[in-house]
Chain A
Amino acid sequence: MVSLLCNPLATVEQLASSPSQADGVPMDLETSLRWAGCTLIQSAGILLQLPQKTIATSAILFQRFYLLSSLRSFALLDTVHASLYLSSKLTEHPTKPRDIINVTSYLLLTPSPSPISPPPGKTDPPSTPESYYVPESTYYAQRTRLLAAETSILKSCGFQTHASLPYTLCINYLQSLSALSGDVVRRSFGHLTDALLSPSLLYLTHQPNALAVAAAYLACRECGVKLPGGWWEVFDVEREELGFLVVGMRGVAQFVDEQVKVWRGRGEGIPWGLEEVDMCLERRRVMDEAMQA
C-alpha cells in the first residue's frame, strides 16, 4: 500500500467533478484559491523553518483535501493551518498551532517577498509588530478551527496521509546519469517545488518518479548537460508523460505572475474565510449582471 515510488492519485472522475465547482465556485476562482493556499503554505513553511519535505507534504494534503471537499464548506485559511500542522506531525517536525497562526498572520498583513503578501508601499509606515499581532481571542478561534480542519483532512483522505516525494529520487536519477552537480540539483528542486503550485495538480496526477524525471530533464536542458537519448524510459516514464510534465512545470512561473496580477489588480483581498468567499461570489454575480445589462 505504501511505497517509496507510489502515491495515491486522483481519479479522472474526481478531477472532472470538483465539489467546489458543484457548490458554485467558478473554476478560475478555485484554481486561484488553490494557488493562494499552496503559496501561503510554502511561504509560512519557510518562515517556520520547516524542511521542504514537511512543506511539500502539507501542500499535497491541502490539494487532496480540496479534491474531495468544497471551498465553501471549509475555509481556505483553516485548511492551510491544518495541513501545515498535520504534515509537521507526520514528518516528525512538530510545530505549535500558535507559531503557524502567528506566521500566516504576519505574511498576510505585512509586505514580504512572498507573492501572497500585500505589496510594499501600500502600508507606508514600516510595519510594526502591532500591525500583525494576533489577539488572544482570534488565536483561540483560529486554533479551534485548525483542529477541526485537521480531522476533516484526515477523514476526507481516509487517513491516506502518506506522500512520497520526488526530491530524493531526483538526486538518485541525476547520480545514475552522472549529471549530479550543484547547479542541476538546485534547478531540479526548484522545478519540483514550483510543480506544487501547478494548476494541473501535478502531484495528484503523476507519480514521484515521473515528476523527478521531468524536473531533471528541465534542469539538465537549462544547464546544458547532455543526456543519452530516451533516458527517461529507464526510469519508467513515457515520452508523452514527460512532455506533459515539462510543459506543466515550465508554465508555473507564468501562472504565478498572472495570479499575482489578478489579486493585486482587484484591490479586494484573497477570500481566506468562508464569508469572504461568499462575498466574492456575490460581487462576481453583481458584476456579471451589470455586464449583461
Chain B
Amino acid sequence: MATKGKSRWEDDEEDVAEETRRKVEKESRKKAKAEKDRLKAEQEAAVAAAAAAAAEQTAAGSDQPPTKRRRLDADATPPPAGQQDSNAPLKLLRYTPPEIVPCAHVDRYEPLNRIEEGSYGVVSRARDRETGEVVALKKLKLERETDGFPITSLREIQTLMASKHPNVVNIREIVMGDTLKDVFIVMDFIEHDLKILSEDMQEPFLQSEVKTLMLQLVSATALMHSQWIVHRDLKTSNLLMNNRGQIKVADFGLARYLGEPTPPLTQLVVTLWYRSPELLLGGKEYGTEVDMWSIGCIFGELLLKEPLLQGKNEVDQLSKIFELCGIPTEENWPGFRKLPNAKALNFPRNRLTIGSHLRARFPLLTSSGVDLLSRLLALDPSQRITAEEVLRHPYFKEDPKPKSAEMFPTFPSKAGQEKRRRHMSPSAPVRGDAPALQGDFGGLFGAQDEEEVGAGFVLRMGR
C-alpha cells in the first residue's frame, strides 16, 4: 500500500470513491466467505452432533437394560434430530422387558452334595441337567412358617434380584419342588469363601491383593446402597471367591430395602464381630453405615488374617471396639448418649482410652491405609465413610497398586472343598427380639477405675 500512502495527500474525490467502493466490495466478500465458512462449520457440527446422538441412542437402546446413569445421560442431551429435521425418525430408549415366567421344577437340577446347613436353610451343589453347569441350590426353610411366605425370604429374593453386579453372587432363578413349601434359590456355584481361604493360607493377603478385594467388595456395596439396599450381614464367610480372583457377596438373608423416612428396623442384625457400635448400643434408626463398619472389620481381617474384633458377647464386643477405636465422647460422636444402651455407660477417661489405637495395631499399613480404616471404623455413623467415597480414597491410588484379578493365585480345588467346614465364628443373629444389654453394664464400666492402670482397657462382664 506504498502507493496509497504516497498519494494520500493528493487524493481527489474519485480516488476516495474508488477506494471506498473497493473497501466495501472486499468487506462484503469477506463477509460472504465468513458466512459460507460458518454455514459449513455449522453443517458439519450438526452432522457430527446427529451422529453422536444417534450413536448414543443406539448404545442406550441396545439389548442390555441400560444402567440408571446411562439413562440420565440420554435424557440430558436434547433431541438434536428434532431440531434439525423434525421429520427424521427419533430413536427412543427401548428396553427388552423380562417376561413373566412361572417357576420351573427343581427336577431340572441333579443334586450332587450338601455344602452347608445354616439356620436359614440348606445349601447344596447341583448340576443343571440341560447345560451341565454346576449351581448352588439354597432351600428355604418354610416348614415352620405360619404367616405365609416369610418376609425375610421375600426380602432376600428381592434384594438379590436387584443387586446385579459382577461382585454379587448371580441369582439364576427360583425353582419349586412338589409342594408349596419347597422353594429353592438357584445361584452360581462359587468355589471358595474368603474365610476358609484365608484360614488355609500361610501368609495374609498381600497389600495389592487386599486392595483388589476391597475394591470389589466396596463397588458391590456401592451398588446395593445406591439401590437403597442394606446387606446387614457382611463378613468374610459371606464373601465367596472363585478361582479368577473375583469375590462375590452372598447371603442376602438379612438384607432389606431402606426407605425415606427410615422404617422401624431391628437391631438384631449383623454377626457380632462385624456389628457396628450404634447397633450394639441399641440405635433404632440406622442405615447403610452398618455395612461400612462391617467392611472396616473385613479390611482389618484381610490384613491380619484373623478377625479384627472377636467379642464374646455384646458387652465384650463393645469394649473391644472402644479399646481399638477409643471411647465415644460428645466430641467424636455427638448425641451417642441418647442411644438406649448408652445411657448408663461410664467410661474411664485416661490417656489409654481416648483416641484410636489403629496405628499401633497395624504398624505395617501406610498412613492412607490407616486413614481409610479409621474412617470405616468411625464410631459416629454420620462420620463414617460411604462406599462411593471409599472407591475414591487415595489408599487405592498409591503403591502397591491393586493387583489385577487375573493375577491372583488360584487355590486348589480340594475334594472336600464342596463341603464347607463349620466356621469357628459366630453366626448371624436369628429372628427374635433384640436383647437389651444386661443391667450391670454401666457398673462394669464404672468398676474399671479400680482395676490396675497399665493393663489397657479390659472390660469384664458378669463375673
Chain B residues whose CB sits within 8 angstroms of the CB of A235 once the complex forms: 75
Chain A residues whose CB sits within 8 angstroms of the CB of B164 once the complex forms: 1-2
Known contacts A233-B79, A238-B92: A9-B97 contact under CB 8 Å = yes
| Contact flags A153-181 to B (C-beta < 8 A → 1, else 0) | 01111111110000000000000000000
Chain A residues whose CB sits within 8 angstroms of the CB of B154 once the complex forms: 86, 89-90, 161
Q: Which of B65, B100, B176 contacts A160 (CB 8 A)?
A: B100
Chain A residues whose CB sits within 8 angstroms of the CB of B99 once the complex forms: 8-9, 11, 14
Sorted from nearest, which 9 A-B pairs have the closest CB atoms?
Answer: A2-B162, A236-B93, A151-B180, A9-B97, A159-B174, A8-B98, A236-B92, A147-B148, A89-B151
Taken together as a complex, chains A and B put the C-alpha atoms of A151 and B92 apart, in Å, by 38
Tell me, rounded to whole Å, the shortest Cβ–Cβ distance linking B158 to chain A: 6
Given contacts A147-B147, A233-B92, list 7 more A-B pairs with CB under 8 A: A1-B162, A68-B102, A86-B148, A92-B259, A154-B149, A230-B82, A234-B79
Chain A residues whose CB sits within 8 angstroms of the CB of B94 once the complex forms: 236
14 pairs, A vs B, C-beta closer than 8 Å: A3-B68, A3-B95, A6-B98, A8-B100, A10-B100, A68-B100, A89-B154, A97-B148, A148-B180, A155-B176, A158-B174, A230-B82, A233-B92, A236-B92
B52 touches A (CB below 8 Å):
no
Q: Which of A64, A151, A159 contacts B148 (CB 8 A)?
A: A151
Chain B residues whose CB sits within 8 angstroms of the CB of A10 once the complex forms: 100
Within 8 A of B (CB), among A53-96: 64, 67-68, 85-86, 89-90, 92, 94
Known contacts A9-B97, A233-B90: A161-B68 contact under CB 8 Å = no
| Contact flags B62-81 to A (C-beta < 8 A → 1, else 0) | 00010010010001001100
Q: Which of A2, A4, A14, A234 contacts B100 (CB 8 A)?
A: A14
Chain A residues whose CB sits within 8 angstroms of the CB of B90 once the complex forms: 233
Taken together as a complex, chains A and B put the C-alpha atoms of A155 and B151 apart, in Å, by 16
Taken together as a complex, chains A and B put the C-alpha atoms of A148 and B149 apart, in Å, by 9
| Contact flags B156-185 to A (C-beta < 8 A → 1, else 0) | 011001101000000001101000100100
A7 touches B (CB below 8 Å):
yes
Chain B residues whose CB sits within 8 angstroms of the CB of A92 once the complex forms: 256-257, 259, 263
Chain A residues whose CB sits within 8 angstroms of the CB of B158 once the complex forms: 2, 90, 161-162
Known contacts A68-B102, A162-B162: A7-B71 contact under CB 8 Å = no
B424 touches A (CB below 8 Å):
no
| Contact flags A15-33 to B (C-beta < 8 A → 1, else 0) | 0000000000000000000
B residues whose Cβ falls under 8 Å from a Cβ of A: 65, 68, 71, 75, 78-79, 82, 86, 90, 92-95, 97-103, 147-149, 151, 154, 157-158, 161-162, 164, 173-174, 176, 180, 183, 227, 256-257, 259, 263
Tell me, rounded to whole Å, the shortest Cβ–Cβ distance linking A101 to chain B: 13
A195 touches B (CB below 8 Å):
no
Known contacts A5-B95, A90-B158, A92-B259: A150-B100 contact under CB 8 Å = no
Taken together as a complex, chains A and B put the C-alpha atoms of A33 and B393 apart, in Å, by 58
Known contacts A1-B98, A85-B148: A155-B180 contact under CB 8 Å = yes
A residues whose Cβ falls under 8 Å from a Cβ of B: 1-11, 14, 64, 67-68, 85-86, 89-90, 92, 94, 97, 146-148, 150-152, 154-162, 204, 207, 230, 233-238
Contact B103 A159 (CB under 8 A): yes
Contact B101 A158 (CB under 8 A): yes
Chain B residues whose CB sits within 8 angstroms of the CB of A86 once the complex forms: 148-149, 154
Chain B residues whose CB sits within 8 angstroms of the CB of A233 once the complex forms: 79, 82, 90, 92
Tell me, rounded to whole Å, the shortest Cβ–Cβ distance linking B144 to chain A: 13
Taken together as a complex, chains A and B put the C-alpha atoms of A93 and B161 apart, in Å, by 20
Q: Which of B92, B173, B259 contacts A158 (CB 8 A)?
A: B173
Known contacts A6-B65, A233-B92: A155-B102 contact under CB 8 Å = yes
Tell me, rounded to whole Å, the shortest Cβ–Cβ distance linking A159 to chain B: 4
Tell me, rounded to whole Å, the shortest Cβ–Cβ distance linking B164 to chain A: 6
Contact A158 B100 (CB under 8 A): yes
In the complex, the chain A residue whose C-beta lies closest to that of B163 is: A2
Contact B263 A234 (CB under 8 A): no
In the complex, the chain B residue whose C-beta lies closest to that of A160 is: B100
In the complex, the chain B residue whose C-beta lies closest to that of A63 is: B100
In the complex, the chain A residue whose C-beta lies closest to that of B96 is: A6
In the complex, the chain B residue whose C-beta lies closest to that of A10 is: B100
In the complex, the chain B residue whose C-beta lies closest to that of A209 is: B93
Chain B residues whose CB sits within 8 angstroms of the CB of A162 once the complex forms: 158, 161-162
Chain A residues whose CB sits within 8 angstroms of the CB of B100 once the complex forms: 8-10, 14, 64, 67-68, 157-158, 160, 204
Tell me, rounded to whole Å, the shortest Cβ–Cβ distance linking A163 to chain B: 11
Chain A residues whose CB sits within 8 angstroms of the CB of B75 once the complex forms: 234-235
Chain B residues whose CB sits within 8 angstroms of the CB of A156 once the complex forms: 102-103
Taken together as a complex, chains A and B put the C-alpha atoms of A238 and B180 apart, in Å, by 42
Contact A157 B102 (CB under 8 A): yes
Tell me, rounded to whole Å, the shortest Cβ–Cβ distance linking B352 to chain A: 44
Chain A residues whose CB sits within 8 angstroms of the CB of B176 once the complex forms: 155
In the complex, the chain B residue whose C-beta lies closest to that of A9 is: B97
Taken together as a complex, chains A and B put the C-alpha atoms of A238 and B92 apart, in Å, by 8
In the complex, the chain B residue whose C-beta lies closest to that of A238 is: B92
Taken together as a complex, chains A and B put the C-alpha atoms of A144 and B97 apart, in Å, by 34
Taken together as a complex, chains A and B put the C-alpha atoms of A8 and B98 apart, in Å, by 5
Task: Determine which residue in B82, B90, B97 has the highest number of CB atoms from chain A within 10 A of its CB, and name it.
Answer: B97
Tell me, rounded to whole Å, the shortest Cβ–Cβ distance linking A148 to chain B: 7
Chain A residues whose CB sits within 8 angstroms of the CB of B256 once the complex forms: 92
Chain B residues whose CB sits within 8 angstroms of the CB of A230 once the complex forms: 79, 82, 86
Taken together as a complex, chains A and B put the C-alpha atoms of A234 and B72 apart, in Å, by 11
Chain A residues whose CB sits within 8 angstroms of the CB of B227 once the complex forms: 2
